[in-house]
């Protein structure tokens, strides 16, 4: 792999940029791999990357039915934070956040990680108490957050109206090293690194069946023919239930649409990420100047990658109350993604009833921030059968009543 650098840019500038090579190969599938990962989103690619980097397993294929990063990874609003309530959540999300800090250097790919700070607004007494509790929990977990006053919120976000009208800002949970990153670049950076390790990323190839013998996985059927594997990782977000059905088990999650939208670009006006969970809206400004807005999920199962319009209306109406200056902005684009939501709003990183089949799912509305930590832990789980990062996120937690309840901290989409 030819490395990207200022020197490489200068070199290519002298020869009409004809020397850049393809970032990843486009191979035909081999007959067999040690590990097959289904789904080339951020989580699938990060898993493959850490299988190679940390565990020396490089005979790996990542199989993707569309194009890599074309699922939720390329559709999300890229908020990165680790201010969760439960210890096991804080551990994996903070691992991920800290890996984001050095991801551009590690991958030699600019993922534009921007630790600009994330505020979660407290707009009811209940939220004030909830976020104070989270701030205390975070202090014990070694996650750096603080509960800030309305005046401090106003200093950080001059365009906010802290006086209401419906929901005055009573404070906020502030994580100074939270922020955003370029979502496509995260997928592309991992894909390039995986391809460089000799892994095959096979796009436009849909997994249509999972083959087993005596309760153990032997391979997958795909639209490009059968592929054998020693181990299988299912990392398909909204399609998790569908893949589980192929393998013959059910999952404690359901697939619903989550939407986002962006405005026309405007001059810089807000340099932090603001989340308003009571009114169900969150907003940041992209480097191009667009206001990036996300809202709530639909309440019904859906695989169409389009959500209901009334959610957009509700989100925008709520945000206009909090940010009056955006009321005249024109919205440019709107889209949806299918997110896999569990009852306790925590992910599932687990062995499954089929030996050799592992599943990484249930990230729901908030898994972009977790990509590197999830890949790190899930690769360890797949390689060694155990990872301290994923131990609490097994499927057995439901039968045993050991929920990792984040429905308060993560009750809104992000």
Ligand X SMILES: Cc1cc2nc3c(=O)[nH]c(=O)nc-3n(C[C@H](O)[C@H](O)[C@H](O)COP(=O)(O)OP(=O)(O)OC[C@H]3O[C@@H](n4cnc5c(N)ncnc54)[C@H](O)[C@@H]3O)c2cc1C
| Burial of 98: CB neighbours in 10 Å, binned 0-12, 13-18, 19+ | middle
Q: How far is the CB of 71 from other proteins (least distance, A)?
A: 15
Q: How far is the CB of 261 from other proteins (least distance, A)?
A: 16
Q: How far is the CB of 249 from other proteins (least distance, A)?
A: 8
Q: Which is nearer to other proteins, 60 or 359 (CB)?
A: 359
Q: Which is nearer to other proteins, 290 or 344 (CB)?
A: 344
24, 36, 43, 362: which one contacts ligand X (CB under 6 A)? 43
The answer to the question of residue 77 lying near ligand X (CB under 6 A) is: yes
* 77 binds, options other proteins, ligand X, none, Cβ within 5 to 8 A by partner type: ligand X
134, 141, 352, 365: which one contacts ligand X (CB under 6 A)? 365
Q: How far is the CB of 96 from ligand X (least distance, A)?
A: 9
* 155 binds, options other proteins, ligand X, none, Cβ within 5 to 8 A by partner type: none
CB 113 within 8 A of CB 100: yes
> 35 pairs with which residues across the strands?
60, 231
Q: In whole angstroms, give the CA distance from residue 81 to residue 300.
A: 27
* 72 binds, options ligand X, other proteins, none, Cβ within 5 to 8 A by partner type: ligand X
36, 40, 253, 389: which one contacts ligand X (CB under 6 A)? 40
Q: Which is nearer to ligand X, 116 or 154 (CB)?
A: 116
CB 103 within 8 A of CB 192: no
* 71 binds, options other proteins, ligand X, none, Cβ within 5 to 8 A by partner type: ligand X
Q: Scanning the structure block, which residue is given the tokens 């990183």? A: 349
Please tell me what DSSP assigns to residue 389.
T
Check whether the bond before 165 is cis (ω within 30° of 0).
yes
* 10 binds, options other proteins, ligand X, none, Cβ within 5 to 8 A by partner type: none
The answer to the question of residue 33 lying near ligand X (CB under 6 A) is: no
Q: In whole angstroms, give the CA distance from residue 345 to residue 362.
A: 8
239, 280, 345, 397: which one contacts ligand X (CB under 6 A)? 239
Q: In whole angstroms, give the CA distance from residue 407 to residue 411.
A: 5
> 172 pairs with which residues across the strands?
121, 148
* 394 binds, options other proteins, ligand X, none, Cβ within 5 to 8 A by partner type: none
Q: In whole angstroms, give the CA distance from residue 281 to residue 259.
A: 11
> 351 pairs with which residues across the strands?
358
Instruction: Say if strands 348-351 and 357-361 run parallel, antiparallel, or are unpaired.
Output: antiparallel
Q: Which is nearer to ligand X, 122 or 181 (CB)?
A: 181
Q: Scanning the structure block, which residue is given the tokens 């190839």? A: 205
Backbone phi and psi for residue 361, each to the nearest 5 degrees, phi listed first:
-155, -175
Question: By the criterion CB under 8 A, which residues form the site for other proteins?
Answer: 239, 241-242, 245, 250-255, 298-304, 308-310, 343, 398-399
The answer to the question of residue 372 lying near ligand X (CB under 6 A) is: no
CB 354 within 8 A of CB 210: yes
Instruction: Say if strands 207-213 and 200-202 run parallel, antiparallel, or are unpaired.
Output: unpaired
Residues that bind ligand X (CB under 6 A): 38-44, 63-66, 70-73, 75-79, 206-207, 235-237, 239, 258-260, 294, 337, 339, 363, 365-369, 414
């Amino acid at each position: 792999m030819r490395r990207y650098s200022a020197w490489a840019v200068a070199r290519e500038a002298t020869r009409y940029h004809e020397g850049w090579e393809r970032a990843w190969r486009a191979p035909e599938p081999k007959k067999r791999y040690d590990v097959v990962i289904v789904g080339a989103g951020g989580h699938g690619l990060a898993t493959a990357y850490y299988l190679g980097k940390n565990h020396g397993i490089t005979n790996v294929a990542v199989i993707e039915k569309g194009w890599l990063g074309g699922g939720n990874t390329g559709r999300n609003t890229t908020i990165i934070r680790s201010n969760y309530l439960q210890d096991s959540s804080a551990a994996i999300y903070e691992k991920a956040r800290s890996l984001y800090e050095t991801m551009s250097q590690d991958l030699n790919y600019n993922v534009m990680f921007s630790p600009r700070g994330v505020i979660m607004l407290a707009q009811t007494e209940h939220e004030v108490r909830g976020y104070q509790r989270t701030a205390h929990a975070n202090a014990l977990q070694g996650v750096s957050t603080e509960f800030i006053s309305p005046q401090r919120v106003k200093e950080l976000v001059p365009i906010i109206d802290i006086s209401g009208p419906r929901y005055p800002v009573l404070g906020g949970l502030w994580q100074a090293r939270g922020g955003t990153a370029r979502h496509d670049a995260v997928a592309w950076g991992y894909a390039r690194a995986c391809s460089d390790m000799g892994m095959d990323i096979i796009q436009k190839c849909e997994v249509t069946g999972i083959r087993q013998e005596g309760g153990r996985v032997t391979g997958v059927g795909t639209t490009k023919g059968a592929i054998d594997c020693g181990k299988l990782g299912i990392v398909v977000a909204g399609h998790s239930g569908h893949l589980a059905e192929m393998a013959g088990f059910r999952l404690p999650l359901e697939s619903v649409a989550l939407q986002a939208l962006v405005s026309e670009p405007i001059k810089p006006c807000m340099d932090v990420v603001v989340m308003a969970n009571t009114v169900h809206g969150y907003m940041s400004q992209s480097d191009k100047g667009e206001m990036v807005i996300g809202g709530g999920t639909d309440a019904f199962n859906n695989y169409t990658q389009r959500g209901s319009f009334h959610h957009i209306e509700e989100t925008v109406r709520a945000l206009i109350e909090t940010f009056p200056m955006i009321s005249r902005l024109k919205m440019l684009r709107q889209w949806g993604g299918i997110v896999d939501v569990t009852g306790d709003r925590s992910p599932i990183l687990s062995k499954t009833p089929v030996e050799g089949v592992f599943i990484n799912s249930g990230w729901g509305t908030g898994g972009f921030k977790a990509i590197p930590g999830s890949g790190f832990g899930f690769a360890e789980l797949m390689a060694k059968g155990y990872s301290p990062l994923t131990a609490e996120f097994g499927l057995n937690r439901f039968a045993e009543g050991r929920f990792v309840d984040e429905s308060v901290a993560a009750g809104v989409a992000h």
